[in-house]
Amino acid sequence: MTDYAKDMMHMIMQIEKDADNQKQIDELKGIISSFQNDKSNKEHKVQKLKWLGKPEQFGYIFSELARQGFIEMPGTNGEGSYAKYAKVCFELFEFKTNSLDNLERVLNPEKNVLSDSNRAKISIPDIKDIS
């Protein structure tokens, strides 16, 4: 029997003795509510996608997807933010070895160290060109 179940059984026994005891009823409702919230949080956990390439490849591809209109970068007042974009990507993808700061750096095409020859191998057209 879980701790939640034991606590609920104890409270139910107390409530049965004194039906006017609103404090125990409120505590029982709180325990039940926290149990339901905990169960709900576990059920809605999102599985991350595993990125198998290098962080620089990820950063360049996803910056290109945003630049070509396939992804709207999160930001403020219509201004895209690499920091916010990195945070969202970090929540959705699993990387071998990467930090949030490094992800922000590689998402910025000016700071990404992927070579020009490798960048040329990745061609993402503007969304308008293939719609």
Q: Does residue 53 share a domain with residue 95?
A: yes
Specify the pLDDT at position 96. 83
Helix (H) / strand (E) element for 80: namely strand 79-80
Q: If you average pLDDT over residues 39-64, what whole number do you get?
A: 84
Number of domains in the chain: 2
Q: Does residue 79 share a domain with residue 32?
A: no
Domain assignment of residue 11, given as a range: 3-43
Task: Tell me the residue length of the chain.
Answer: 131
Q: Does residue 64 share a domain with residue 20?
A: no
Specify the pLDDT at position 27. 75
Specify the pLDDT at position 94. 93
Q: Does residue 38 share a domain with residue 20?
A: yes
Specify the pLDDT at position 57. 96
Q: Does residue 84 share a domain with residue 26?
A: no
Q: Does residue 64 share a domain with residue 29?
A: no
Q: Are strands 75-76 and 79-80 parallel, antiparallel or unpaired?
A: antiparallel
Question: What's the DSSP call for residue 129?
Answer: G
Q: Does residue 17 share a domain with residue 62?
A: no
Specify the pLDDT at position 75. 86
Q: Does residue 54 share a domain with residue 26?
A: no
Residue 25's alpha-carbon distances to 2, 17, 39, in angstroms, are: 19, 12, 21
Residue 91's alpha-carbon distances to 11, 49, 59, 114, in angstroms, are: 40, 9, 15, 23
**Closest to 126 (Cα-Cα) out of 66, 61, 78, 58:** 66
Q: Say if residue 37's pLDDT is above 80.
A: no
Specify the pLDDT at position 65. 96
Q: Does residue 54 share a domain with residue 34?
A: no
More confident residue, 117 or 22: 117
Task: Evaluate whether 43 touches 34 at the Cβ level (below 8 Å).
Answer: no
Q: Say if residue 19's pLDDT is above 70.
A: no
- What pLDDT digit, counting tens, does each position of 59-117 carry? 999 999 999 999 999 988 878 899 999 999 999 999 987 789 999 999 999 999 999 99
**Closest to 64 (Cα-Cα) out of 15, 121, 2:** 121
d(C-alpha 69, C-alpha 53), whole Å: 23
Q: Does residue 54 share a domain with residue 114?
A: yes
Q: Does residue 69 share a domain with residue 29?
A: no
